[in-house]
Amino acid sequence: MKDITIAFVGGGNMARSLIGGLIADGMPAKRIWVADPNETVLHNHQTHFDVHTTTSNNEAARHARVVVLAIKPQVAKAVVQELAAVIKTNRPLIISIAAGIREGHLKNWLDKDIAIVRAMPNTPALVHSGATALFANTAVSKPQKNLAESILRTAGMTLWLDDEDLMDAVTALSGSGPAYFFLIMEALENAGHHLGLPQDMARLLTLQTAFGAAKMALESTEELAELRQRVTSPGGTTEQAIKVLQAHRLEAVFDEALRAAHQRSIELAAIFGNE
């Protein structure tokens, strides 16, 4: 991967995370281009990473074997159509992290034989602890697939989808998921404070407990239900709390919430694809 050139079209937070991960992984900064209309964004990339920067999307793409579309979905059609001539000529691998922009949309704006990988990272990628789902179209070769995985893996774990429609479920679960956990942590912190703990102590205990629980689950081979039951002693404090949560139908609430997010993901994809 160190001998290829990658162009990031869009220099926002997710691009910054991936660039930081690539450089930390040993990729030469001079193999990376960043295109963005914001001069301040470009200056920051140049200062922090010493990469090539430009306000011209076409200039960046012209040099690259991989073009990462790190753009907002609202501008995707205009940006991709602007790049179409260069991409059709050079035929790089396209990695799109533009939420809601389907492979078919990109293919319609570019060419049916362009190699496209669609990726759905989540915001913990900003601290290199993300979860990214990937989908490759039939034009993507095995080496290109490995390359895309190597790039996205610098921001956390990756997994491949065989069915692009599952990307809407990924969006509802891991894409939006950090906000669900932040809400739960916020509620736990406030509840602890209401029980008399100082706010900063309640916050620290909440965050460390969330981190510890996630680490235990990641490192265990047991099901989540088994891990929960192990903490829930009969007649104990945890059992009383779990009874209250189940009485309020917590599982049904999350099921309804993810279904709502899933439906909205489908709706937004239809909107963005036609803009």
Map residue 216 onto helix, strand or coil: helix
Beta carbons within 8 Å of 118's beta carbon, 6+ residues apart: 96, 101, 102, 103, 106, 134, 135, 136, 164, 167
70, 125 contact by CB (below 8 A)? no
With b for 16 or more beta-carbon neighbours within 10 A and e for fewer, the 130-164 pattern comes to: bbbbbbbbebbeeebbebbbebbbbbbebeebeee
Q: What order do you get walking across the sheet with 52-54 strand by strand?
A: 52-54, 32-35, 6-9, 66-69, 93-96, 116-120, 130-136, 156-160
Name residue, tokens 């790049």: 83
Identify any residues that bridge with 136 across adjacent strands, giving them in sequence order.
Answer: 117
| Domain architecture of the chain: domains with CATH | 6-167 (3.40.50.720), 175-268 (1.10.3730.10)
> For residue 229, what are the β-bridge partners?
none
CA 125/CA 115 separation, integer angstroms: 24
Quick: pLDDT tens for 152-196: 999 999 999 999 999 999 999 999 999 999 999 999 999 999 999
Global pTM value = 0.91
CA distance 184 to 178: 10
> How far out from the chain centre does Cα 210 lie?
20
Residue 11 has pLDDT above 80, yes or no: yes
Question: Which of these, 247, 260, 108, lies nearest to 173 by C-alpha position?
Answer: 260
Determine the average pLDDT of the residues in 12-36: 94
Report the alpha-carbon distance of residue 134 to residue 116 in Å, rounded. Answer: 10
Closest CA to 120 of 170, 66, 69: 170
Chain center to CA of 181: 16
Please say whether the beta carbons of 171 and 88 come within 8 A. Answer: no
Q: Residue range 240-260: average pLDDT?
A: 97
| pLDDT tens profile 32-76 | 999 999 999 999 999 999 999 999 999 999 989 999 999 999 999
Instruction: Over range 84-105, report the average pLDDT.
Output: 95
Rounded to whole angstroms, the Cα distance separating 88 from 19 reads: 25
